[in-house]
């Protein structure tokens, strides 16, 4: 069977703040959105909270209306704020119970060429089981599977599963599987918490049990750990390490239960030699597919962006029993922007501009004799 993983960076719609030309433009919007959401969710609003809420609403471009360039404030009932004719914003609510509504990121359609190039990668991978990172939802992934893959000559997957995670931006992890590879028992970890009650996973770390045509069962854990680009480095590294520790615990629990075939796949957002990933890389028996003699990295050590050593952030990690069954593996970069003068790798003709890339991430694949 062929197991693969691909960070699709959303399929149909994506937050406008994440579609800007550079992360430097989008990051402040997402940080303000997260802070405002946090403040609005509090049971009680202090005077300082109300001042900060008003300030953030203005900074997000909602001085005159609830519809900003990147964020929407939905107010269904009750009173949250007023906009006096003299100008400014006055927060009248004293807590979350005073109003009913939500704060949402505005979406916009993904570049059509980018969407089709994402589909080309998925079709050309010819995976039997594909882990997907940054999918909006199961309905969206299912629609993409039914409508877009056949439009470019591909065959839809028989099984499509996404469990909604903790990220409010709609970037979840899921699994797609061909006929003959049914998805059985599923276990979500969205509610896993630290001893002090903090939610561990930014998205989720779902366990999908897959049965192969031969009757062999394996558990695939799809991950998307905390990004380096959002929040301070110290806090991001600490959060990612806690997540890695929990992934390692789940893996050890599975092996203690006698599960031999386990794959941990996805975007771990850090390099193999990093401290945050030590609990997984050094603290378990999992093996990185990049270490296998049958694996071909295509002449580049990384999986993201320019694919340099420091850009190795996507993984297929296998339990010893699975690692021993590897027959081949590689990195699929044809959907990525290859750069110019000279191009770093062969890409699809349709990737004429960086905006046309299916993703900034390469897809990884491995053939297993099971």
Of 131, 128, 120, 222, nearest to 179 by C-alpha is 128
CB-based contact 108:19 (threshold 8 Å): yes
Stretches where the chain sits below pLDDT 70 are 21, 111, 229-231
pTM over 0.85: no
Please tell me the predicted confidence (pLDDT) of residue 168: 75
Q: Where in the chain is the domain with CATH 3.60.10.10?
A: 2-13+109-368
CB-based contact 173:203 (threshold 8 Å): yes
Please tell me the predicted confidence (pLDDT) of residue 76: 87
Please tell me the predicted confidence (pLDDT) of residue 26: 85
Cβ neighbors of 32 (< 8 A, separation 6 or more) are: 56, 59, 60
Q: Which residue has the tokens 């970069």?
A: 333
CB-based contact 262:297 (threshold 8 Å): no
Cβ neighbors of 128 (< 8 A, separation 6 or more) are: 1, 2, 3, 177, 178, 180, 181, 212
What CA–CA distance (Å, rounded) separates 90 from 297?
Answer: 56
Please tell me the predicted confidence (pLDDT) of residue 15: 77
CATH class for the region spanning 2-13+109-368 = alpha beta
Q: Helix 23-40 crosses helix 47-59 at what angle (to 10 degrees)?
A: 150
């Amino acid at each position: 069977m062929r197991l693969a993983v691909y960070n699709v960076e959303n399929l149909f719609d994506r937050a406008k703040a994440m579609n800007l030309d550079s992360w430097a433009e989008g990051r402040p919007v997402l940080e303000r959105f997260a802070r405002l959401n946090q403040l609005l969710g509090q049971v009680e609003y202090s005077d300082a909270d109300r001042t900060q809420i008003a300030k953030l609403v203005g900074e997000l471009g909602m001085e005159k209306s609830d519809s900003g360039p990147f964020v929407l404030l939905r107010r269904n009932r009750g009173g949250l704020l007023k906009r006096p004719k003299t100008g400014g914003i006055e927060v009248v609510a004293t807590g979350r119970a005073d109003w009913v509504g939500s704060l949402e990121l505005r979406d916009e359609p993904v570049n059509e060429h980018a969407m089709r190039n994402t589909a080309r990668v998925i079709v050309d991978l010819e995976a039997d089981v594909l882990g997907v990172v940054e999918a909006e939802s199961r309905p969206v992934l299912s629609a993409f599977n039914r409508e877009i893959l056949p439009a470019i000559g591909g065959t839809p997957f028989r099984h499509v599963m996404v469990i909604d995670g903790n990220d409010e931006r709609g970037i979840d992890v899921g699994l797609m599987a061909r006929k003959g590879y049914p998805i059985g028992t599923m276990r979500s970890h969205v509610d896993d918490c630290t001893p002090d009650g903090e939610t561990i996973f930014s998205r989720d770390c779902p366990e999908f049990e897959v049965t192969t045509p031969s009757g062999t069962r394996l558990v695939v854990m799809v991950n998307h750990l905390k990004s380096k680009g959002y929040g301070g480095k110290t806090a991001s590294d600490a959060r990612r390490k806690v997540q890695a520790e929990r992934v390692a615990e789940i893996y050890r629990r599975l092996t203690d239960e006698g599960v031999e075939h386990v794959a941990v796949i996805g975007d771990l957002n850090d390099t193999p030699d990093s401290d945050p990933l030590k609990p997984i890389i050094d603290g378990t028996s999992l093996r990185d597919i990049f270490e296998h003699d049958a694996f071909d990295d295509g002449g580049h050590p990384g999986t993201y962006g320019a694919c340099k050593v420091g850009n190795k952030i996507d993984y297929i990690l296998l339990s010893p029993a699975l690692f021993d069954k590897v027959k081949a593996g590689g990195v699929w970069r044809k959907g990525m922007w290859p750069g110019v003068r000279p191009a770093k790798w062969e890409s699809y003709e349709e990737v004429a501009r960086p905006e046309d890339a299916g993703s900034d991430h390469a897809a990884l694949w491995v053939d297993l004799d099971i």
